[in-house]
Amino acid sequence: MPNISVIIHTYNNEKLIAETIESVLRQTYKDYEIIVVDDGSTDNTRTVLQPYMDRMRYHYKENGGIPSAKNAGIRLSEAGFIAFLDHDDLWVPDKLKIQIDYFNKNPQVGLVYSKYITFSNGKELRTNPKKGYSGWVFSKLISRSFIQTSTVMVKRECLDAVGPFDESFTLSDEYDLFLRIAKRYQCGFVDKELTRYRIHDRNASKDDLRFDMENLKVFKKIYDNSNGLDTKCKKLLRERIAKYNMNVAGRLYAQGRFEDSNKYHREALKYLPFYKRVIMCRKFRD
């Protein structure tokens, strides 16, 4: 049984998937399996993957979205550690080795992530996150989403405990999962760029309204299941719920959807103390 299962979901990515696979095959740490879940591709993705079939496990399924594809990979996996890699991203050769070494030195940690470099058309753009956190990072993760999926390696026992990706999400399934893990387990940060994150026109997060609506759903889900959270975390969650309600309200207002906008505006006010409600109302009217 391999020590790490590398899960790659893909959909209609015939141009880039081979480069992604090659970045895994170049890993200096070799005790891994590759599981590629093809989420109903209609292009030549399978043909492009054919030369790699003897070095990976290929699973084709009907199109069901990214969370369902990643969950299918988790169900197929056999290893004690799981590493996720988006089908258009790349790893540096020592990515897996560095993270396994981190787990071996820090057995209390359930998830390890790292810095990553964004790039486009072969040109490096920037490094994120500027500052990473280790230990109990839940409250910091509420304040800001700083864990990029292709940098993550997680213990299987963590996924067994908190559950898989929530398939009701289309954009924020990863953020939701990482928050659930960070609530129960310590996380580790590697201050090195272990992943290259590709920027292109198909990046799903460019849909700002849908992105804000899904993040709002994430925060409300946590708040509605907030047993065991301290007062500080609950206050922070209320502020995040209010902020994203206002983000959605503003975007809907700009689209001329005034009734929908007012609904989110009213919900924002319910999560704020009185003095902040007054300030928020003034800003919204302005």
At residue 204, the pLDDT reads: 54
More confident residue, 234 or 123: 234
Q: What percent of the chain has pLDDT over 70?
A: 93
Q: How far apart are CA 35 and CA 46, in angstroms?
A: 13
CA nearest to 190, candidates 43, 88, 264, 91: 91
Domains and CATH numbers, the chain: 4-205 (3.90.550.10), 207-285 (no CATH)
* 113 has pLDDT over 80: yes
pTM given for the model? 0.91
* 205 has pLDDT over 70: no
At residue 202, the pLDDT reads: 58
Least confident of 26-30, 65-69, 282-286: 282-286
